[in-house]
C-alpha cells in the first residue's frame, strides 16, 4: 500500500482526538518519533489521552502493537526450538508468584521460556523484585545471555532490556503520569508487543478481576482478555486467557522474600492448593497449545509431575545459578528442608494478629493487606524506588475455615516504620468472619478464552483471531 506524506504530530493528535481512524503509516510515524526522541513529551501525553478517551479500532490496535514490537530487537531462536517457546503474563495480583514455579516447570517439560517480567508499582513488588530478594540474582541479561540460559537451562526470568520494545518502555512510563494506565488499547499493545518480541509459539494470559485487581468486574476483565487474545493471535502467537478471581491473596505468603519461599514450597510439591492450581492449569494450557500435551488436562498432569518429582525445582536452581546466584546459595534455598532465612533476609520484627470473634472465614480482603504492606516498604509508588524485600505477611487461616475468637490469623513481618494502631485496625477489618457453615473455597479460574477453531493437541490452524468462552 502506498502512503502519502506523514501527518504532523498536532494533526495526528487532532485526528485521534476527533475519533478518526489512524492509518498504519500514521502510527508508525508516531512510534518512530517516540523511539528517536523527536516528539515532545506533551505531544505523547496528548496522544495517549486521545486514545484513552476515544479508543482504537481493531486495525489501529494491531498496527500499534506491530510498530511497538518493531521499535527494537525481535528475538530469534534456533530451528530446533520451533514450537517450544512459550510464556505467560499476569495482570497482577496480591501474592501472585505463579511465574516463579511455572517457568522452571515448563522448562522441565521441554519448553523454552524467555520470561520478560516487570517490577511492581504500588502494593508489593513484581516478579523481578521477588527474585532480586535472592542474593546475587541478576535480571539484566542481554540477547546472547538469554539465548545461552535458554539453551542450557530452558527458562530465564529477566527485565525488559534497552533493545527490546524501547517504545513501550517510554510509553509505559508516560502512561503512569498521564492517567492513561487503564486504556484498553494501550494495555493490549503494551502486553502483546513484549511477548511478540519474544517470538513465542504460545502465550497464556492471566487476567484478574475483583476488589484487588485493576478490573473490578468480570465483564470488564473479559473485555480486556478478549482484546489480548485477539491481538495475540493476530501477531502469530497461539494465545489464550484465564479469567481469575482476585479478592483474596494468592497462597498464604505476601511480600517479596516470603513469596520466594512459598514458590519454593510449590516447587517441592507442597504449598497452598490455589497456587498449585494456577501453576498446573496455566502450564497445562501452554503445553497443549505448543503440542507437548494432548489436552490441557494432560498438560496439567505433566506440570504437577515436575513439581512432585523435583525436576522443576532442579530447573529453578539451575536458573538461579545461570542468572548470578552462587551455587551454595542456590543449593541452600532449594534443599529439601532448608532454612530459607539462612539465605533470605529476615525482617527485624514479627507481630501476630488474632481473630476478634468466632465464626467462618468468609473472605480475607487482599487489597487492605497490600496497602498496609506498601506503607511498610514492600512496594513502591514510583519507578526506581527501593523496596524492602523482607516486609511481608503470612496468612495463618484459610477461607472457609471455622475459627475461634483469639485464633492467630496473620503474622506481619516488618522493620521500620513499625506497625501503627491504624494499620492494625485496617488489617483486622480485612478478615471477614460470618455465621455460615465451614466450606471449601472453589477454583480461582472463572473462564478460559481460547482461539476459536483451535483443536487442543491437534494440528489444525487457527481459523480466526476471535475467541470462545469456556465457563468453569
Residue (of 423, 260, 399) closest to 351 by Cα position: 423
From the candidates 175, 252, 292, 374, which is the catalytic residue? Answer: 175
Distance CA 143, CA 145 (A): 5
Give, for 372, the enclosing helix (H) or strand (E): helix 366-375
How far does Cα 51 stand from its chain's mean position?
24
Burial pattern 60-99, b for ≥16 Cβ within 10 A else e, equals bbbbbbbbbbbbbbebebeeebeebbbbbbbbbbbbbbbb
Distance CA 231, CA 160 (A): 21
From the candidates 168, 206, 247, 274, which is the catalytic residue? Answer: 168
Distance CA 362, CA 341 (A): 32
For residue 207, list its beta bridge partners: 243
Phi, psi (degrees; rounded to nearest 5) at 48: -60, -40
For residue 470, list its beta bridge partners: 448
Strand 392-395 and strand 408-414: pairing?
A: antiparallel
- The number of residues in the chain equals 472
Told to judge if 190 belongs to the known catalytic residues of this protein, a careful annotator would answer: yes
Phi, psi (degrees; rounded to nearest 5) at 87: -160, 170
Distance CA 425, CA 422 (A): 5
From the candidates 16, 88, 123, 194, which is the catalytic residue? Answer: 194
State whether residue 110 is helix, strand or coil: coil
Strand 392-395 and strand 253-254: pairing?
A: antiparallel
Distance CA 349, CA 344 (A): 15
From the candidates 16, 29, 89, 208, which is the catalytic residue? Answer: 89
For residue 349, list its beta bridge partners: 414
Distance CA 92, CA 367 (A): 12
Told to judge if 175 belongs to the known catalytic residues of this protein, a careful annotator would answer: yes
Angle at 130 between CA 164 and CA 288, to 5 degrees: 65
What does the DSSP assignment read for 380-410?
A: -SSTT----TT-EEEE-S-TT-EE-TT-EEE
Phi, psi (degrees; rounded to nearest 5) at 136: 95, -15
Told to judge if 434 belongs to the known catalytic residues of this protein, a careful annotator would answer: no
Give, for 156, the enclosing helix (H) or strand (E): strand 155-158
From the candidates 90, 190, 257, 390, which is the catalytic residue? Answer: 190
For 288, the grid coordinates are: 497443549
Cis (ω within 30 of 0) for the bond into 75?
A: no
Distance CA 10, CA 33 (A): 13
- Residues assigned a catalytic role: 89, 168, 175, 190, 194
Amino acid at each position: 500500500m502506498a502512503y502519502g506524506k506523514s501527518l504532523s504530530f498536532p494533526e495526528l493528535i487532532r485526528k485521534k482526538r476527533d475519533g478518526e481512524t489512524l492509518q498504519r503509516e500514521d502510527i508508525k510515524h508516531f512510534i518512530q518519533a517516540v523511539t528517536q526522541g523527536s516528539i515532545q513529551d506533551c505531544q505523547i501525553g496528548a496522544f495517549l489521552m486521545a486514545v484513552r478517551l476515544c479508543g482504537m479500532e481493531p486495525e489501529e490496535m494491531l498496527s500499534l502493537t506491530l510498530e511497538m514490537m518493531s521499535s527494537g530487537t525481535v528475538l530469534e531462536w534456533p530451528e530446533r526450538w520451533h514450537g517450544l517457546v512459550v510464556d505467560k503474563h499476569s495482570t497482577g495480583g496480591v501474592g501472585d508468584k505463579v511465574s516463579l514455579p511455572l517457568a522452571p516447570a515448563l522448562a522441565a517439560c521441554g519448553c523454552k521460556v524467555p520470561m520478560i517480567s516487570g517490577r511492581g508499582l504500588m502494593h508489593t513488588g513484581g516478579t523481578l523484585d521477588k527474585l532480586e530478594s535472592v542474593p546475587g540474582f541478576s535480571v539484566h541479561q542481554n540477547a546472547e545471555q538469554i539465548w545461552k540460559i535458554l539453551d542450557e537451562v530452558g527458562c530465564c526470568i529477566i527485565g525488559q532490556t534497552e533493545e527490546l520494545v524501547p517504545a513501550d518502555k517510554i510509553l509505559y512510563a508516560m502512561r503512569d503520569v498521564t492517567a492513561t494506565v487503564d486504556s484498553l488499547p494501550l494495555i493490549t499493545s503494551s502486553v502483546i508487543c513484549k511477548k511478540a518480541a519474544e517470538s513465542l509459539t504460545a502465550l497464556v494470559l492471566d487476567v484478574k478481576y475483583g476488589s484487588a485487581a485493576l478490573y473490578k468486574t468480570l465483564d470488564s476483565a473479559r473485555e480486556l482478555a478478549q482484546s489480548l487474545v485477539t491481538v495475540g493471535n493476530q501477531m502469530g502467537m497461539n494465545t489464550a486467557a484465564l479469567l481469575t478471581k482476585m479478592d483474596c491473596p494468592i497462597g498464604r505468603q505476601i511480600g517479596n522474600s516470603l513469596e520466594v519461599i512459598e514458590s519454593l514450597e510449590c516447587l517441592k510439591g507442597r504449598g497452598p492448593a490455589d497456587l498449585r492450581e494456577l501453576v498446573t492449569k496455566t502450564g497445562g494450557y501452554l503445553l497443549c497449545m505448543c503440542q507437548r500435551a494432548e489436552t490441557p488436562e494432560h498438560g496439567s498432569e505433566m506440570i504437577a509431575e515436575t513439581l512432585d518429582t523435583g525436576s522443576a525445582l532442579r530447573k529453578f536452581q539451575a536458573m538461579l545459578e545461570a542468572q548470578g546466584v552462587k551455587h551454595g546459595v542456590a543449593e541452600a534455598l532449594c534443599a529439601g528442608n532448608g532454612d530459607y532465612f539462612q539465605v533470605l533476609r529476615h525482617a527485624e520484627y514479627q507481630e501476630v494478629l488474632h481473630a476478634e470473634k468466632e465464626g467462618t472465614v468468609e473472605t480475607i480482603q487482599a487489597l487492605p493487606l497490600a496497602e498496609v504492606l506498601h506503607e511498610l516498604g514492600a512496594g513502591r509508588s514510583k519507578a526506581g524506588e527501593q523496596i524492602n524485600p523482607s516486609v511481608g505477611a503470612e496468612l495463618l487461616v484459610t477461607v472457609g475455615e471455622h475459627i475461634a475468637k483469639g485464633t492467630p490469623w496473620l503474622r506481619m513481618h516488618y522493620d521500620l516504620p513499625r506497625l501503627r494502631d491504624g494499620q492494625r485496625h485496617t488489617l483486622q477489618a480485612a478478615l471477614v468472619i460470618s455465621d455460615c457453615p465451614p466450606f471449601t473455597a472453589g477454583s480461582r479460574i472463572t473462564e478460559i478464552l481460547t482461539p476459536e477453531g483451535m483443536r487442543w493437541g491437534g494440528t489444525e490452524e487457527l481459523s480466526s483471531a476471535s475467541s470462545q468462552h469456556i465457563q468453569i
